[in-house]
């Protein structure tokens, strides 16, 4: 009786250890380890309109890849492309005026419904 109980516990422990890796990885997304490819523009920057934006520089999102956003005076949130974020990193929580190439991207949910529009600024230049 005691041997059967010990054998059952050993088998249960082996089963749990063997499946733990699969259980803990369930639901995890494939997160890119680099910042490349997270914001892929559809048009070359030279074809995009140039706009001037004034607003508050904010850091949004969480690690490992937060975004720099300019909350414009008109309420529009302008996401700054990753390669340009270094320009504004020291201006967090300050008002700035930048000029850059504007692009919009429609966000779509898994079921095909629209989740709104995200505005991007590329090739920015700090004006003030």
DSSP strand E in 1-128: where? 50-60, 67-72, 77-80, 95-108, 114-126
Q: Domain tally for the chain?
A: 1
- Local structure of 61: helix, strand or coil: coil
Summarised one tens digit per residue, pLDDT across range 21-51 is: 555 555 555 544 554 444 444 556 567 888 9
Question: Which residues form the domain of 107?
Answer: 45-126
The alpha carbon of residue 13 and the mean position of all alpha carbons in its chain are separated, in whole angstroms, by: 39
* CATH number of the domain bearing residue 101: 2.40.50.140
Q: Is residue 110 part of a domain?
A: yes
Distance CA 52, CA 49 (A): 10
28 found inside a domain: no
The pLDDT assigned to 30 comes to 52
Read off the pLDDT of residues 98-111 as tens digits, 9 standing for 90 and up.
999 999 999 999 99
6 occurs within a structural domain:
no
* 61-92 tens-digit pLDDT: 887 888 999 999 899 999 999 889 999 999 99
In a domain, 35, yes or no: no
Asked whether 78 and 93 are in contact (CB, 8 A), the reply is no
């Amino acid at each position: 009786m005691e041997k059967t109980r010990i054998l059952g516990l050993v088998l249960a422990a082996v089963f749990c250890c063997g499946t733990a890796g699969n259980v803990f990885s369930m639901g995890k997304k494939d997160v890119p380890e680099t910042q490349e490819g997270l914001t892929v523009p559809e048009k070359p920057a030279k074809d995009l309109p140039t706009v001037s934006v004034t607003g508050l520089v904010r850091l949004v999102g969480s690690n490992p890849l937060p975004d720099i956003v300019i909350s414009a005076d008109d309420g529009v949130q302008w996401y700054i492309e990753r390669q340009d974020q270094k320009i504004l990193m020291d201006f967090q929580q300050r008002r700035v005026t930048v000029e850059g190439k504007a692009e919009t991207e429609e966000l779509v949910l898994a079921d095909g419904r629209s989740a709104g529009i995200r505005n991007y600024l590329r090739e920015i230049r700090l004006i003030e």
